[in-house]
Every structure is written in structure tokens, then in C-alpha cells.
Amino acid sequence: MLRPLACLFFMLAAAAQSMPPRRVASINLCADQYLVALADPGQISGLTRLSHRPDMSPIAAEAARFPAIGASAETLLAHRPDLLLTGWPGQADAAIHAGLTSRILVLPPANSYADIKTQVRLVAQAVGHPERGEALIRRMDKALAAIPKSGRNRVAADYQRRGYLSGGGTLMDEMMRRVGLVNLATKLHRPALSNLSLEDMVAARPDFLITGGKPARDIGSAMLDHPAIADIPRLYLPGQLADCGGPSYPQAIRTLSDQLRQKR
């Protein structure tokens, strides 16, 4: 959880003494959201290719106005951003070894709303608009405060292909708690990520299964449509809202809460 923060704050403290970056690029899908929300349009030199896909990105319509770039050394050397947002340490190493001199801001996956707020502040400071970060956080706080806890302590399982289950310490677990659900994984004392067999899911019998809602495309995802669990009510959280933390977090919470209000 935000392992490189000390390095990031050191980098940002140094950056505060210079002019804001003129060319900022993102090579991480989750980082795309922060950049579009906080930078001037003229500062954005490129976003990931996935940012243009509505099934992958909640900001696809906004991202379409910006160039889609890859993460290869050749591409990054051609774009030469002043600041590059990545998703993990070493993601841009090939480009750096080839001569890229961009400052790097690493934004690892957010596991909580607290992580998201920290990353908002990091990106806002890095692009030279710290006031926008605080304004975005206020808007997110207000949006979250208005969402009812419609879960009424019912039990839900974030059950994904091949039987993987999201447990405590994950963003999904926090989402469930925010809407008033009990996570089956924590009830069963499971770790952050575990595998639950179909037989164990039948025995546990949660009130809801949270899935992405896509039709089964292979054997791994077909198990979600197995007759043994077909009658367990579903809550659908599409991948573009479930896969990343960021400014879309309140929208993800609202999506779950609205479905729960319709399921008495």
C-alpha cells in the first residue's frame, strides 16, 4: 500500500521549487483518471490505450481527446514527457535505460479511500495544481456522504473467475462496508485474496454475489453461471469501476448502493 511514498514526497518537494511540468504522460490505466481530473488539458501528452475503451475506463469519453500511447521505450522517448505517471516501480526502466530523463511518479493500486486521497494530493502537487486536489477530495467526500448504506448487514461475496474472492484490506472490501454489506471473505477469515471452491460457496450461501456482469468467455468465468449458485442474487460492478481506485470511487459506491436499494 503506497510503498514508495517516501521517495515520492522527496521527488515532489524538489519539484515544488521548479515550474509545473509542461508535458505529462500516464502509462497506467488507474493513473489516467488522476491525470485527466487534475492536470490542464494542455499538459497531458498521452494516456494509456486502455483509457479510450469504455469497458475498461470510466473516463473513456474524456480520454478520447488525448493521444493514446504505449509504454515502450521508443514511444516514451518520442514523447519525452517532463513527468511520467506509472503504476509500479520499474515500469519505465527500459525507457530510462534508453535515455528517458522524465521525473517518475509511481501510483500503486489503491487499497482504500485513504490511499485514493493520498494519490490525489500527490498528482495534484506534481502537476502544479494542489488546490484542484483539495477541491476534488471535497467533492468525493460530499458524494460519499450522500450515499445510503443500503446493504443492511447482508452478506456479499466478490466472486470472480476461477473462484477468486476479495478479502479484507482490499478496495472491494472497503466498498462493501461503505454500502453496509458484510464481506463473506472476512466472515470466513480469508486473506485479501483467496480461492473459494464452488462447493464452499454453495455451503456459505451469501445474500449476494458481486460480479463484473460480463457473459462467460471461458471455463474460469463459466463457473459464475453454474446452476448451483445461479439463484444467488447478483450485484454488478463493471470492471471500469471495480479495477481501479481514483476519482471514480464514489461512482462505484453509488452503483452498488443503488442496486441494493432495489433488492429488498
Examine the fold and report which residue of 124, 144, 164 is the final residue of a domain before the chain moves on. Answer: 144
Distance, CA of 112 to CA of 110 (rounded, Å)? 6
**What angle is formed at CA 117 by the lines to CA 113 and CA 123, rounded to 5 degrees?**
140
pLDDT of the residue at 122: 98
Grid coordinates representing 129 are 495544481
pLDDT of the residue at 10: 43
Helix ranges (DSSP H) in the chain: 5-15, 29-38, 60-63, 73-79, 93-97, 113-126, 130-145, 171-178, 184-187, 198-204, 219-222, 239-242, 249-261
Looking at residue 92, the DSSP 8-state letter turns out to be T
pLDDT of the residue at 218: 66
pLDDT of the residue at 9: 45
Say how many domains are in the chain.
2
pLDDT of the residue at 215: 63
Asked, for residue 27, whether it belongs to a domain, the answer is yes
The tens place of each residue's pLDDT in the chain, 264 residues long, gives 444 444 554 454 444 446 899 999 999 999 999 999 999 999 999 999 999 999 999 999 999 999 999 999 999 999 899 999 999 999 999 999 999 999 999 999 999 999 999 999 999 999 999 999 999 999 999 999 999 999 999 999 999 988 999 999 999 999 999 999 999 999 999 999 999 999 999 999 999 999 987 665 666 677 888 999 999 999 999 999 999 999 999 999 999 999 999 987
Residue 190 shares a structural domain with residue 130: no
pTM over 0.75: yes
pLDDT of the residue at 3: 47
Residues in the chain: 264
Residue 13 shares a structural domain with residue 131: yes
H helices, E strands: number in the chain = 13, 11
Grid coordinates representing 24 are 505529462
Asked, for residue 150, whether it belongs to a domain, the answer is no
Looking at residue 210, the DSSP 8-state letter turns out to be E
pLDDT of the residue at 212: 86
pLDDT of the residue at 13: 45
- Under 8 Å between Cβ of 66 and 44: yes
pLDDT of the residue at 15: 46
Residue 32 is part of which domain span? 5-144
Residue 92 shares a structural domain with residue 210: no
Residue 114 shares a structural domain with residue 179: no
* Residue 237 belongs to domain with CATH number: 3.40.50.1980
**Nearest Cα to Cα of residue 235 among 167, 151, 125:** 151
Distance, CA of 113 to CA of 25 (rounded, Å)? 24
pLDDT of the residue at 16: 47
